[in-house]
């Protein structure tokens, strides 16, 4: 294997090394150029040779396998890889923007900004999880915000790919990750639970909203293990004006038991962007840490300090979808409303971690100015919310699994599609309007939604016998 | 170049035809056959003739323990396998038996080694069933990539430069890059008698330029293969297990 001797001006397979931008324990990063390529590029060269960390090679191998398989705006684009036997390297897009690490000097940030960062990072991680990858090293320096606001995740050297051999898993006995952000299960050697990324994001949100790291900065295994039984100081005791909903969300992300966290990143992003509808449990009210006796009980509970086998990433994701049901609350559609409820019930019955978002579009006129009050002086928006809750009531869903949304829009189909896209909805249920003048004039909302949605759409029709169709 | 690998065909005509057809559809340019062409299944003559035909056209084939048992009654095997082999002996003509007797235990092909079972003792017919077995097999050969079969359950092992092992159950249809920095042992699933709970026939394709290995599954006419086994009076368990893939 060639010696890793590099200096500016060196050309490797057409890539010219311009400037060394980072030299870490595992790899060196170079800004590179290539005739015929204009995009900003970065070359990652692993540190190999005498005295190098053996993890550097393995982590580089992992990234070399994973990066070319990733796509989308939330990851740097893969450009090229060098032959391992000659000179291993990876060339990828140099993401222009600022890392969250650059914000560390100005913490705590305003709550709304923290929530916004949380939504963006959770969305990026959700995208990654859907591509079968768990990041396992989520921290401020691995998250870049592009100038257009998109979030990019960097560094897949510690990541786990659900469909590839995990070279890190069996190579090392000690957990790998970044001490303050590492989840309890990662400390126990579990590398296949997507909710580990949620824990790390929870640490980040806690840190960014309070200015304090929830589990300190200890890098000793002993110090890190304390998070297995010691809960963090509730944010509200650090900042008295801390929003209870945000505390609810952040502390849920930081649960020791992965099953007590959000089932998916999409569900976390959903709660962060609809904080007014977050179910406030005892978590949101806590002002002090758990009593010493509780901590002691946890400390010596073997169940909590030994890893348990987890379901596969894909199974975990598909069991906890976000389902949106679009409901027309107008009078006279009782049969469709009923059919929608029956279908919803059937779907939810098979997916105990799914959550349901009930939508109603409050149609705005194009030309006239709408008032928020109807002819009887009722607030239309509130009336619709009440109507949605009334529709959902027979489903007997836990508040945590149900949200209601009244969207004001001119084009109902476009509004439903936008809601689904922004909230990473997995499945839309919508009723088909029966033959009517409205449908003739407006076209079918359900047809447009079904045709244009990026997710699964079920168009529901009431079961009835059409007398006219009988011979 | 695309190479298709088949292991443990076990005289299952329906499964082998389906795998060959799919591999050809996917552009396979060469075929490697990893042993156990006969035993268990109902079409040994057709299968051995098909293998001979492929070898004549450039395919590479190694010997499996069931193939060896045709000319060597002292091979150890379980009762059902023994019954099937005794029946098979009465099905194969001299040229087919001669072909099987002439097969090598191992073959080398550039940076690859082909063997039916554990490369550290090809004649011992040991299963490669664990990381330790895989480490023993990899250590016994200088070849960067070994292909074997025998256990009827697909698996992929690798050994790093520092002799650390990884094991992995391959995902169907998902290409895995065999990184040049480490040594690999690809254990093939079985074409003719899968035992990993999935009754679909199993084979693999290697893209030698990209060094990418893809494990493939092919559904085939299990009912027909099982019916033939019963019709030939072979132990019914050999027919039943095809349905469950175990």
pLDDT tens by residue, A180-200: 999 999 988 888 999 999 999
Q: Do B164 and A171 touch (CB under 8 A)?
A: yes
Name the residue among A423, A431, A422, A418 with its Cα closest to residue A458.
Answer: A431
Return d(Cα A327, Cα A445) in angstroms, integer.
Answer: 11
pLDDT at A456 over 60: yes
> Residue A2: pLDDT band by 50, 70, 90 thresholds?
very low
Chain B residues whose CB is inside 8 A of the A57 CB are 160-161, 181
A321-469: CATH class:
alpha beta
**Mean pLDDT of the region A242-246:** 97
**What structural domains and CATH numbers belong to chain B?**
2-244 (3.60.21.10)
pLDDT at A340 over 50: yes
Q: Do B160 and A167 touch (CB under 8 A)?
A: yes
Q: Do A164 and B168 touch (CB under 8 A)?
A: yes
> Residue A1: pLDDT band by 50, 70, 90 thresholds?
very low
Report chain A's mean pLDDT, rounded to a whole number.
Answer: 87
Residue with tokens 């035993």: B39
Q: Is B169 an 8 Å CB contact of chain A? A: no
Return d(Cα B17, Cα A20) in angstroms, integer.
Answer: 56
Q: Is B124 an 8 Å CB contact of chain A? A: no
Q: Do A165 and B165 touch (CB under 8 A)?
A: no
User: What are the pLDDT digits (tens) for A102-155?
Assistant: 999 999 999 999 999 999 999 999 999 999 999 999 999 999 999 999 999 999
User: What are the pLDDT digits (tens) for A281-297?
Assistant: 999 999 999 888 888 88
pLDDT, position A309:
59
pLDDT at A440 over 70: no
Per domain, the residue ranges of chain A are 11-93, 98-317, 321-469
Cis, peptide link before residue A108, omega less than 30° from 0: yes
Of residues B242 and A84, more confidence is placed in: B242
The percent of residues in chain A predicted with pLDDT above 70, rounded, is 88
Q: Do B160 and A171 touch (CB under 8 A)?
A: yes
User: What does each of the 246 residues of chain B score in pLDDT, given as a tens digit?
Assistant: 999 999 999 999 999 999 999 999 999 999 999 999 999 999 999 999 999 999 999 999 999 999 999 999 888 889 999 999 999 999 999 999 999 999 999 999 999 999 999 999 999 999 999 999 999 999 999 999 999 999 999 999 999 888 889 999 999 999 999 988 899 999 999 999 999 999 999 999 999 999 999 999 999 999 999 999 999 999 999 999 999 998
Name the residue among A24, A215, A208, A191 with its Cα closest to residue A103.
Answer: A208
Tell me the residue length of chain A.
471
Q: Do A170 and B179 touch (CB under 8 A)?
A: no
Q: Which residues contact A20 (CB under 8 A, 6 or more apart)?
A: A6, A8, A28, A29, A30, A31
pLDDT, position A88:
87
Q: Is A88 an 8 Å CB contact of chain B? A: yes
Which sign does the torsion angle of CA A35, A36, A38, A44 carry? negative
Half-sphere exposure of A373 (CA within 13 A, CB side): 4
pLDDT, position A398:
85
> Residue A441: pLDDT band by 50, 70, 90 thresholds?
low
**Mean pLDDT of the region A402-426:** 90
Contact B242, B226 (CB under 8 A): yes
- Give the mutation candidate from A170, A176, A315 for the B interface (greatest B CB count, under 10 A): A170
Q: Do A65 and B177 touch (CB under 8 A)?
A: yes
Which chain B residue has its CA at the smallest distance from A61's CA? B179
Residues of A (105-164) whose Cβ lies below 8 Å from B: 162-164
Q: Is B164 an 8 Å CB contact of chain A? A: yes
Rg (CA), chain A: 26
pLDDT, position A87:
83
Q: Is A241 an 8 Å CB contact of chain B? A: no
Which chain B residue has its CA at the smallest distance from A49's CA? B161
Return d(Cα A53, Cα B22) in angstroms, integer.
Answer: 44
Which chain B residue has its CA at the smallest distance from A58's CA? B160
Contact B155, B196 (CB under 8 A): no
Residue with tokens 């990899």: B138
Q: What is the CATH number of domain A98-317?
A: 1.10.510.10
Q: What is the CATH number of domain A11-93?
A: 3.30.200.20
Chain B residues whose CB is inside 8 A of the A164 CB are 168, 174, 176
Distance from CA of A84 to the nearest CA of B (A): 6
Q: What value of ipTM does the predicted structure carry?
A: 0.78
Which chain A residue has its CA at the smallest distance from B168's CA? A165
> Residue A381: pLDDT band by 50, 70, 90 thresholds?
confident
B/e letters for B143-165, b = 16+ CB within 10 Å, e = fewer, are bbbbbbbbbbbbbbbbbbeeebb
**Mean pLDDT of the region A92-100:** 95
pLDDT at A471 over 60: no
pLDDT, position B23:
97
pLDDT, position A308:
64
Q: Do B179 and A58 touch (CB under 8 A)?
A: no
């Amino acid at each position: 294997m060639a010696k890793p001797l590099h200096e500016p001006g060196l050309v490797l397979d057409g890539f010219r090394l311009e400037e060394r931008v980072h030299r870490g324990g595992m790899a060196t990063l170079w800004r590179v150029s290539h005739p015929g390529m204009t995009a900003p590029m970065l070359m990652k060269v692993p540190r190999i040779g005498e005295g190098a960390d053996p993890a550097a090679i393995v982590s580089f191998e992992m990234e070399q396998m994973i990066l070319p398989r990733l796509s989308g705006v939330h990851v740097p684009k893969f450009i090229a890889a060098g032959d391992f036997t000659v000179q291993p390297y990876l060339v990828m897009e140099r993401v222009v923007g600022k890392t969250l690490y650059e914000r560390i000097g100005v913490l705590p940030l305003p709550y709304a900004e923290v929530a916004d960062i949380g939504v963006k990072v959770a969305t990026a991680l959700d995208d990654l999880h859907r591509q079968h990858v768990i990041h396992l090293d989520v921290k401020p320096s691995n998250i870049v915000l592009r100038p257009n606001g998109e979030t990019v995740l960097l560094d897949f050297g510690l990541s786990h790919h659900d469909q590839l051999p995990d070279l890190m898993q069996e190579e090392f006995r000690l957990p790998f990750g970044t001490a303050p952000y590492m989840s309890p299960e990662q400390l126990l050697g579990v590398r296949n639970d997507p909710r580990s990324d949620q824990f790390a994001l929870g640490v980040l949100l806690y840190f960014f909203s309070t200015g304090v790291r929830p589990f300190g900065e200890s890098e000793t295994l002993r110090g890190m293990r304390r998070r297995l039984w010691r809960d963090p100081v509730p944010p509200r005791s650090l900042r008295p004006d801390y929003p209870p909903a945000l505390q609810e969300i952040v502390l849920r992300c930081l649960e020791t038991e992965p099953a007590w966290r959000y089932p998916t990143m999409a569900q976390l992003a959903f709660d962060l962007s609809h904080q007014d509808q977050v179910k406030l449990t005892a978590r949101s009210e806590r002002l002090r840490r758990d009593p010493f006796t509780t901590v002691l009980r946890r400390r010596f509970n073997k169940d909590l300090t030994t890893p348990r086998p987890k379901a596969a990433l894909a199974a975990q994701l598909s069991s906890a979808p976000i389902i949106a049901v679009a409901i027309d609350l107008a009078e006279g559609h009782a049969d469709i409303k009923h059919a929608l409820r029956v279908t919803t019930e059937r779907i939810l019955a098979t997916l105990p971690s799914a959550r349901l978002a009930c939508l109603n579009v409050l149609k705005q006129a194009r030309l006239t100015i709408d008032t928020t009050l109807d002819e009887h002086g009722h607030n239309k928006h509130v009336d619709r919310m009440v109507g949605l809750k009334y529709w959902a009531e027979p489903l007997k869903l836990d508040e945590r699994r149900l949200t209601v949304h009244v969207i004001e829009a001119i084009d109902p189909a476009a509004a439903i599609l936008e809601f689904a896209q922004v909230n990473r909805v997995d499945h839309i249920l919508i009723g088909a309007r029966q033959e009517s003048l409205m449908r003739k004039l407006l076209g079918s909302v359900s047809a447009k939604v079904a045709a244009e949605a990026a997710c699964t759409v079920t168009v529901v029709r009431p079961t009835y016998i059409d007398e006219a169709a009988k011979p | 170049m695309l190479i298709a690998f088949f292991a443990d065909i076990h005289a299952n005509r329906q499964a082998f035809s389906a795998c060959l057809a799919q591999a050809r559809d996917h552009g396979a340019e060469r075929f490697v056959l990893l042993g156990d062409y006969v035993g268990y299944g109902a079409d040994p003559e057709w299968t051995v003739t098909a293998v001979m035909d492929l070898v004549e056209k450039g395919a590479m084939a190694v010997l499996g323990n069931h193939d060896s048992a045709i000319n060597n009654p002292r091979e150890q095997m379980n009762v059902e396998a023994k019954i099937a082999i005794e029946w098979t002996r009465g099905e194969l003509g001299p040229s087919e038996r001669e072909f099987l007797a002439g097969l090598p235990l191992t073959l080398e092909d550039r940076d690859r080694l082909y063997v039916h079972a554990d490369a550290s003792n090809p004649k011992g017919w040991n299963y490669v069933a664990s990381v330790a077995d895989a480490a023993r097999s990899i250590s016994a050969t200088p070849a960067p990539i070994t292909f074997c079969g025998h256990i009827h359950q697909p698996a992929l092992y690798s050994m790093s430069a520092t002799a650390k092992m990884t094991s992995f159950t391959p995902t169907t249809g998902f290409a895995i890059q065999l990184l040049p920095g480490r040594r690999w042992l690809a254990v093939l699933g079985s074409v003719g008698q899968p035992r990993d709970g999935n009754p679909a026939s199993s084979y693999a394709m290697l893209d030698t330029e990209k060094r990418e290995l893809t494990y493939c599954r092919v559904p085939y006419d299990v009912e027909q293969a099982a019916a033939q086994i019963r019709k030939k009076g072979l132990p019914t368990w050999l027919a039943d297990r095809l349905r469950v893939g175990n």
